[in-house]
């Protein structure tokens, strides 16, 4: 995984994550960077360890200056995820 303020290549790249610093041990990485600006982003799509099971998705970015560091990874929540502090209705009303 790119660290600190390391920049990726311009354009769209696809990588495989294999125990190399991504949010989950295994998955695919979609890296996006414009042709001239230094800003970029990555989408990590994990591979489940169980056939047919859901795996988490994470996103991160870095701003358009050469010295900017990467943000921390943030999980993208879906209807298949259990979101801390949110009930089945999609709100924080714990009464039902």
- What pLDDT sits at residue 32? 94
- What pLDDT sits at residue 54? 87
Question: What is the C-alpha to C-alpha distance for residues 10 and 29, in angstroms, rounded to an integer?
Answer: 15
Residue 3 lies in a domain: no
Residue 30 lies in a domain: yes
Residue 85 lies in a domain: no
- What pLDDT sits at residue 88? 66
Residue 41 lies in a domain: yes
- What pLDDT sits at residue 12? 94
Question: Residue 40 in contact with residue 7, Cβ under 8 Å?
Answer: yes
Of 42, 39, 49, the residue nearest 22 (C-alpha):
42
Print the domain residue range for 65: 11-76
pLDDT beneath 70: ranges in the chain: 84, 87-96
Of 67, 68, 75, the residue nearest 22 (C-alpha):
75
How many domains would you assign to the chain? 1
The model's pLDDT over 81-93, given as tens digits with 9 standing for 90+, comes to 777 677 666 666 6
Residue 83 lies in a domain: no
């Amino acid at each position: 995984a790119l660290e600190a303020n390391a920049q990726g290549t311009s354009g769209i790249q696809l990588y495989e994550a294999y125990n190399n610093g991504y949010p989950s041990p295994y998955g695919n990485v979609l890296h996006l960077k414009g042709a001239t600006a230094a800003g970029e982003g990555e989408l990590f799509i994990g591979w489940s360890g169980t056939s047919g099971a859901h795996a988490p998705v994470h996103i991160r970015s870095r701003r358009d200056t050469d010295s900017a560091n990467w943000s921390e990874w943030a999980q993208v929540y879906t209807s298949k995820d259990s979101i801390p502090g949110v009930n089945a209705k999609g709100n924080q009303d714990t009464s039902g």
